[in-house]
A = this chain, B = another copy of it.
Amino acid sequence: MPRKTNTRNKIKNVALDLFSTLGFAGTSVRQISGTVGIRESGIYNHFSSKENILKVLLDDVKNSTIGVEIITDELLNKLSKPQIFMKEFVQILIKRWNTKKQKKYLRLVLIEQFREIKGVNVSLNLLVDESINIWSLIFSEMINFRYIKKGDPKVYAEEFVYPIFMIRLQYLVEEKVDLEKILEKCDSHIDYFWNSIKR
C-alpha cells in the first residue's frame, strides 16, 4: 500500500526528524518549511502553530503505543512454554521499537516530557507502565496455569520489563541499529529471569 505523502504528512515527518534531535525549542518553523520545500507561511495552512505540530506528533505517539492487541493466538498457544513465549514476544516488541519512526518517537518523548503542553500527556513513565500492565496480565495467567512459580505478577512484570526498557534506552543513542546485539542482550536477560521464576 502506497504511503500518502501530502504536504501535511511531509511537515509532520520533517518536524519529527528535527524535534527529536534538536528539540522543539531548538527547531524553527523556517527549518521545517525549508526542509519540506515550502515557505514559512505555508506551514500555517496545515497547522495552527508550531506547538500544534508538536501536539499532533505526541498524539501520534500515544496512538502508536503497543497494547495487548498484538498478542496473537499463535503466540498465546505458547504460553505454556514461558521461556519461548517471552523470547518470541520480546522479539516482536524489539522489532517494532527498533524502527526509525519509533526511535524518533521515543527520543521526542524523552526530550519533551518535561515541557507542559495543553491537552497532551506523554512520558517515559506512561510507556513503561503500559508495558508493565501487559506483562502483569501475562504472568498472572502463567501463574494461574502453574507454568511458573507463584508470586506477585506485578513484581515479575517490573523485574522483567525494567531491564528491557533500559536496553531499549541504551540503544536509542547509538547511530547504527544492531538488532542482533539488542536481541542477544534481551535473550540473556530472559534466560536469567526465567531461572528465577521457573518452578
State the A residues within 8 Å of B (CB): 20-26, 107, 110-111, 113-115, 123-125, 128, 155, 158-159, 162-163, 165-167, 169-170, 173, 188-189, 192, 195-196
Contact = CB atoms under 8 A, between A and B. Distances in A.
B196 A195 contact: yes
Contact of A26 (B24, B167, B170): B24
Given A114-B107, A114-B111, A162-B162, A173 B26 contact: no
A126 to B, nearest CB: 10
Nearest to A185: B158
Nearest to A161: B166
A182 B159 CA distance: 15
Contacts of A24: 23, 26
This chain: how many copies in the complex?
A: 2
A196 B20 CA distance: 39
A58 to B, nearest CB: 15
B155 A162 contact: no
Given A159-B163, A159-B192, A166-B166, 14 more contacts: A20-B114, A22-B25, A23-B24, A23-B111, A23-B115, A110-B110, A114-B173, A125-B170, A128-B166, A155-B188, A155-B192, A165-B166, A192-B196, A196-B196
A25 B21 CA distance: 12
A166 B23 CA distance: 23
A25, A165, A166: residue with the most chain B Cβ atoms closer than 10 Å: A166
